[in-house]
Structure 1
Amino acid sequence: MPAGNERATPLPFDLVREELRQVDELLLQETWSAVSIVRDISHHILGAGGKRLRPALLLTTARAAGYQGDWAIRLALCMELLHTATLMHDDVLDHSDWRRGRVTAHRRWGQSASILTGDAMFARAMRILVDYGSLPILNAVTSAVIRVCEGEVMEIALHGDLDIAPETYLRVIDAKTAALISVCCQTGGMLGQTTPAQIEALSTFGFHLGMAFQMVDDLLDFTAKRERWGRPVGEDLKEGRITLPVIYTLQRATPADRERLRTILNTPSAAVEHMDEVLSLLHRYGGFEAARADAIAHTRAARESLLALPASAARDALAALADFVVARDQ
């Protein structure tokens, strides 16, 4: 992430840099295990870094809500554990080879050990919520986790479906990505002295930010440079995952070009070999532009939702993040 002195308005990662450092330290402590494989798998993925978007959002929204206690760090830790557990399970489901520039845990230690280590991370996260003792926060977070799991199941059911409608795609990313980002922001608001309307505004901000974040992720899967992306480009095509740029292109292409694109996509393993042709079609029919326009619309809605909060450096950082999400290259 860019350093704070490169921007007129700091991003959350800059604003809560010290708290994020503490979260990183606690991640390694919290995932220590007497079982060496569990410990090694946990530290393998956590030690690879990552954006730390979700803990940064919880910490910054808590600031925006006026909270100054220590529990924001513990709950931020909880969110990163949950997110990392979903990534570990996701890598197994998608047969992914790379994560954050490292070989995936299931490739190195096997599927069973990776899945169970992810389960342990879920349990550790739940233990933090129980220790905090807020039933409303526990209910919000567990409801979000259920939605993440449902989103993953929906995505599996739609695997390779070339007739998926944009509305269906949006329901999937709402559940699998936006739900957890939204509850991070909601939880930050619930920690502070905020009104129900302001908590809802933070939840709405997280929803729109999460939708934009996933849409840009899907764009970057086609356009990012591997050394910055941390995994090979074109993974979505290789795994038979149909995302918004492709959906829009299939809707807009001529019958001949639509049939050609469908032929390529019907053999996911060959799709990457024809990446140049796929990219040409996506550009020609405005698939990238349409998907990016949708992401920008969500970032605008995210910024608007923040107007329910009093002005503060934290609110400004959240607004700046909405802009950064669509401008990022990793």
Structure 2
Amino acid sequence: MSAGEMAVVRLTQYSHGGGCGCKIAPAQLQEILRDLPKFIPDPRLLVGLETGDDAAVYQLNGAQALVLTTDFFMPIVDDPVDFGRIAATNALSDVYAMGGTPILALAVLGMPINTLPMEAIQGIMHGGQQVCREAGIVLAGGHSIDAPEPIFGLVAAGLVHPDHLRRNSSAQRGDTLLLTKPLGVGVMTTALKKDKLSPEGYLEVLRVMTQLNRPGAWLAQEAAVHAITDVTGFGLLGHLLEVARGSGVRTQLIHAKVPVLAEARALTGQGIFPGAARRNWEGYREQIQAGTLSLEEQLLLSDPQTSGGLLLAVAPQAVAGVLERLHREDFGWAGIVGQCLDGQPGIEVV
């Protein structure tokens, strides 16, 4: 059975949500984690729960630290192979966002065995394996369950030199903020589910969601790149807020400079947004000075991204060189979106 034939299955009809839009809302997650100890008394644990970073990091020796993460979700597209590719790319992104290089992955698989065709499940696994091969790693096993809704993702492990580890909490005052991929993934995949996304739009958003964030590994070796995180389910504003809080800086986001997929911008005019964009905005709106942003602009900046871009805090003198290399490596959307300033931690949108 070909990928085109398997797409007739309409994976998105098997689940109530899809992609990183399935994430629990920021305010609810804070409530869940409220009473858990954030600082674990183990000096080898370099990154844990304390700043909501992208992965845990555990030091193995003087030259190596283990980067460990897991990420999985329900179908965001209908084609099984494409869904597997997107989910695997998204999971590996957390390793790259810490400055790591992936070394191994395990599959997380939950499928409604009695209702979903076996060929579709095989297609999902093949898609995940394709991305692992592209990243130069082995999909070495995993765990599967019979579940009411389809779920797929990875447990991903990587390595990073402790000196090259990059966190979401190490931005500095005066840094320039860069974003490597455009927003609009949540809007366009919502339109797909409503049969309102063009074939060209599908190919464009698929390319964004399946582009590995490989630059994270070399960006972390640049001393002038102070902080890195990837933009996923909490939207650009949510992940930038984590940077601001963790780093103790005030951030200024220039909304006109934020790259957005063209069809996504058009779809917002039709009122097409994922429900998670609204939940995100309601969860952190009081901590953001939004100025004269329209409702559509607010929701676009809160749009949950699946396998979104890297958000970087870079010393100004290094920005030109970083952007030149990113563009050379096919991240043509990469550009300046704001800056880090003195003041109370938070976000001002101008």
Task: Report the TM-score, using the length of structure 1 for normalisation.
Answer: 0.30
* Structure whose residues are more often strand by fraction: 2
Higher relative contact order (CA 8 A, sep 6+): 2
Task: Report the TM-score, using the length of structure 2 for normalisation.
Answer: 0.29
